[in-house]
Structures are given as C-alpha cells and as structure tokens.
Amino acid sequence: MLAAMDPKINMIQVASPINWDEYFMFQAILASYRSKDPSTKVGAVFVDQNQHQISMGYNGFVAGIDESKLPWGKEPGVGLEHQKYGYVVHAEANAILHAHGSLAGSKLYVTHFPCNECAKMVASKKISEVVYLSDKHHHLEMNRIAKKIFDLTGLRYRQLHLDEGLVENLHGHFLSSIRDT
Ligand SMILES: [Zn+2]
C-alpha cells in the first residue's frame, strides 16, 4: 500500500480555474454567439440552486419562421414592419420559452441587462437573481423601468466583471482541446 506522503500520489488541493459565476456567464456568451443579429448578440442562461443549467436562449427571429423574408435592419425611418424589432425574440424570452420545468428560484445569467419587456417576464417567473455583463443601455428608459420592476419585486441584480486573463486562459484551453484530438 502506498503511503499518503508518497510523491507519486498527488494529494495537492487544486482549485478550479473558473468559478460558477464565470462559468455560466461564459455559457451565456457562447449562447450569444449563436445569434445571427449583426449588431447585438445577446445570450441568456437559467441556472438552478444546484448549479445546473436549466435553459438557454439567444436573440433571434421567431422559431420556425422563414428568416429569408425578414430584415435585420433597425433604422427607425422605415417603420417597425421593416425592422428586426418586429420579429426578434429576446434571449431571456427564448430561454424562458425553452425551459421545461419551473424557473422559480433560479438565477439568470445574461450578457446584457434585460429590457423592460424581459424584466416583466423574468420577475413574473420568480427568478432569484439576475447576473449581467453589459449595462451599455443604462441611459435608456427601458433600462430604468427594468430596474424599477426588479426593485419593486425584490429581485436582486448585479453586474459581473470578467477578467481578461481568464479569457486568455480559456483561449489556450480551447486550442489545446482541439489540437489533442
Ligand atoms: Zn428583452
């Protein structure tokens, strides 16, 4: 029998190089990469209390629709009928639509702070917390309304800052993973 002190046995405690917040935000970023929207790619992931992913979504046209007949433009001069806004389902909404079970008590990881329409749905689903990456639309009314909805329903929200060094490490991990095949 080998003794615990034997150098051939690795008993060193090793921490995961990525924590759960970072892991699920990267899942949301990966989901956003699926989006065909040329201007804004948004991803969303719902996670239960056991750190299991329940559902994911990204912004895209209505499921099953003939996308070749729909515009990705967003110029206000042409009317809603000819803008993407008339036909796109937001990432959070898609993640809610695709969830099979209850979302109550789950956390939402999303690449952009939710708009007021998604905030209505997220709050109604009794989500416990919203973790977001970008708040670049913080100056817009829809953003203020979303925060008011979260505040008045007691839904916590916080911004996550990802370390660029972690992205560099992941880049190396991705490359070594595909080169080892
Ligand atoms: Zn939205």
What is the distance in A from the centroid of ligand 1 to the CA of 177?
Answer: 34
Could you read off the pLDDT of 1-28 as tens digits, one per residue? 556 667 788 778 888 889 999 999 999 9
Residues of the chain above pLDDT 90, percent: 75
Could you read off the pLDDT of 121-146 as tens digits, one per residue? 999 999 999 999 999 988 999 999 99
| Chain mean position to CA 163 | 17
Residues near ion ligand 1 (CB < 5 Å) are: 90, 115, 118
Within a 13 Å sphere around the CA of 16, how many CA atoms are in the beta-carbon half? 6
d(CA 107, CA 57): 14
Structure confidence at residue 2 (pLDDT) = 57
What is the distance in A from the centroid of ligand 1 to the CA of 142?
Answer: 9
- Tallying the residues shown for the chain, one arrives at 181
- Among the listed residues 22, 67, 75, 92, the single catalytic one is 92
Q: Are 71 and 38 in contact (CB under 8 A)?
A: no
- What confidence tier does 158 reach under pLDDT thresholds 50, 70, 90? very high
What is the distance in A from the centroid of ligand 1 to the CA of 77?
Answer: 22
Structure confidence at residue 170 (pLDDT) = 94
Single-letter amino acid code for the residue at 34 = R
Structure confidence at residue 3 (pLDDT) = 62
What is the distance in A from the centroid of ligand 1 to the CA of 52?
Answer: 23
Which 3 state secondary structure label does DSSP give 50?
coil
Answer yes or no: 129 catalytic.
no
What is the distance in A from the centroid of ligand 1 to the CA of 151?
Answer: 17
What is the distance in A from the centroid of ligand 1 to the CA of 68?
Answer: 23
Q: Residue range 22-42: average pLDDT?
A: 96
Give 143's contacts (C-beta < 8 A, 6+ positions apart): 113, 115, 116, 135, 137
The whole-model pTM stands at 0.90
pLDDT at 149 over 90: yes
Give 134's contacts (C-beta < 8 A, 6+ positions apart): 111, 112, 113
Give 150's contacts (C-beta < 8 A, 6+ positions apart): 119, 123, 130, 156, 157
Q: Residue range 135-160: average pLDDT?
A: 96
